[in-house]
């Protein structure tokens, strides 16, 4: 494992290894055990999309690991003024020890990895969100103790979260059921991957997807960069693609709920459901820190 570009690149064993390391680092943090594993290392963090959890968790994680996080806004970099990504990759590779990038096009992340000589971490693209889903899997395992026999359900837009949840869920051995409106389905590359699994279901019916689910996921109807579609999307999704009491009633009685945040209460999830499962959702948010520290250690430690 040289980079974290997308979960499609990882084996089940590599994912489990990251989760085990994340658990270890979390235990040490909670018990006051310092782990300056990346002392003297610098992580460049390129942001072309705004962020709360990604920026704070990566900055804090690098600090706790003894390294230095360097915030690089696209407004301040020459990449924001048209410098080719391959040139940026070559230059930054001579200054720093790793790059985390949060951007729009998956190709930009892949190009950084191709032309650079340091580890590249995908902090989010329009195609996938691997760091978030590693944190999701860590949280599921904490609450459910494992993955075997579990059913994961995702309701909403077939966006980057849906793409990564499908891949991550199937690779670790869960059943995965996804409910999306027509024309808002996950990426073809992901659906082609999922075809090899008998335990994958794609439907337009949220209740069918949620039936007997152990874990329910959702996300905003319009992601960053899709704001101009928000009115149209609200018309398509409203009243159907929402985690609410009716959906919870067909899931298992002890089903947990996850949301990558930020949440639009009253749209993709009701206020009542979010608050009833707040502990799970904010444990999930905290685990961004621990899962990403595992990625940083795996990729950047000597």
Catalytic positions, written as ranges: 102, 129, 132, 219, 260, 288
Cβ atoms of 120 and 112 closer than 8 Å: yes
Binding residues for L-ornithine: 160, 219, 223-224
Binding residues: 51-54, 78, 102, 129-132, 160, 219, 223-224, 260-261, 288
* Measured distance CA(281)–CA(279) in Å, rounded: 6
Structure-block tokens of residue 15: 């994912």
Pairing outcome for strands 200-203 and 175-179 = parallel
Binding residues for carbamoyl phosphate: 51-54, 78, 102, 129-132, 260-261, 288
Residues 6+ apart with CB under 8 A from 226: 233
Pairing outcome for strands 120-124 and 42-47 = unpaired
- DSSP secondary structure, 108-148, as one string: HHHHHHHH-SS-EEEEE-SS--HHHHHHHHHHHHHHHS--T
DSSP state of 261: S
| C-beta atoms surrounding 94 within 10 Å | 9
Q: What are the helix (H) ranges across 172-277?
A: 188-194, 206-210, 230-237, 245-250, 271-276
Looking up tokens 């001579």 gives 94
């Amino acid at each position: 494992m040289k980079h974290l570009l997308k979960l499609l690149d990882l084996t089940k064993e590599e994912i489990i290894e990251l989760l085990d390391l994340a658990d270890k680092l979390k235990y040490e943090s909670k018990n006051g055990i310092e782990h300056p594993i990346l002392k003297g290392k610098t992580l460049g963090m390129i942001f072309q999309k705004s962020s709360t959890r990604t920026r704070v968790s990566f900055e804090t994680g690098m600090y706790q690991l003894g390294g230095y996080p360097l915030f690089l806004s696209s407004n301040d970099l020459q990449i924001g003024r048209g410098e080719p990504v391959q040139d940026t990759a070559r230059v930054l590779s001579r200054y720093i020890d790793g790059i985390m990038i949060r951007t729009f096009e998956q190709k930009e992340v892949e190009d950084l990895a191709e032309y650079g000589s340091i580890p590249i971490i995908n902090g989010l693209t329009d195609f996938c969100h691997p760091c978030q889903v590693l944190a999701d899997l860590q949280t599921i395992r904490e609450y459910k103790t494992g993955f075997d026999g579990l059913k994961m359900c995702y309701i909403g837009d077939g966006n980057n979260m849906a793409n990564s949840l499908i891949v991550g869920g199937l690779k670790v051995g869960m059943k995965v059921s996804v409910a999306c409106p027509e024309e808002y389905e996950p990426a073809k590359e992901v659906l082609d991957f999922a075809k090899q699994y008998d335990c994958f279901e794609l439907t337009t019916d949220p209740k069918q997807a949620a039936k007997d689910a152990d874990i329910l996921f959702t996300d905003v109807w319009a992601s960053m960069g899709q704001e101009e579609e928000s009115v149209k999307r609200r018309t398509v999704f409203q009243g159907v693609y929402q985690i609410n009491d009716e959906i919870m009633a067909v899931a298992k009685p002890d089903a947990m709920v996850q949301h990558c945040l930020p949440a639009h209460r009253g749209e993709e999830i009701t206020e009542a459901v979010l608050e009833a499962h707040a502990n799970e959702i904010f444990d999930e948010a905290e685990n961004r820190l621990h899962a990403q520290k595992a990625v940083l250690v795996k990729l950047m430690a000597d």
